[in-house]
Each structure stands twice: as C-alpha cells, then as structure tokens.
Amino acid sequence: MEIKRNLSNDATTGIKSDFVYEAGETLKDDKITIATSQDVTAIVEANKRARNDIDRHQKHGEWSKVASIPLSVLYDLKARGIADDP
C-alpha cells in the first residue's frame, strides 16, 4: 500500500514535494520518502530559444552561457557537494 501526501507546491519555481509512505511485508520493510519534482517545460523552452538566438559565426569570448538548469537539480547537486566542487 502506498500513501502519498503533498507537502508543498511552489508556483514560482514549479517545485513540488510529496511525502510517500510504502508499507512493506513487515514494519521494518516500510519505506518513507520525500519526493521532489519540478515542471521544467518552461526552462527547456527558454534554453531552446537561447540556443537559437546564438550567432554561431561570432566569437563568444571566455564565457558563454549554454543553458539553465532547474532549481531542483541545483539543490540536489549542492546537497551532494557537486555544485560547489572547484
């Protein structure tokens, strides 16, 4: 049996968090998870527009933005210590 309850829904970022309880055969087999998801449709579309706006015949200099990533991905990378890795 699975029970899912919404914990939060941020309309600005599109980040949604759910509490998920899965009953196992015994009490020690039960699982509790906090699942985070994000609708990334707008970010993907903005990345596509930005990609199409780049003039591939011009020099871009030292830094060129190649894409944006969803905040939920950034938070996950930070939690794992990857985003701040020099």
| Domains of the chain, residue spans | 1-39, 40-86
* pLDDT tens column, 35-78: 988 888 888 999 898 888 777 676 666 676 778 888 888 888 89
pLDDT score of 17 more than 90: yes
Amino acid residing at 33: T
Instruction: Give the global pTM.
Output: 0.57
Long-range interactions of 8-17: CB distance < 8 A, separation 24+: 13/38, 13/71, 13/72, 14/38, 14/39, 14/40, 14/42, 14/70, 15/71, 15/72
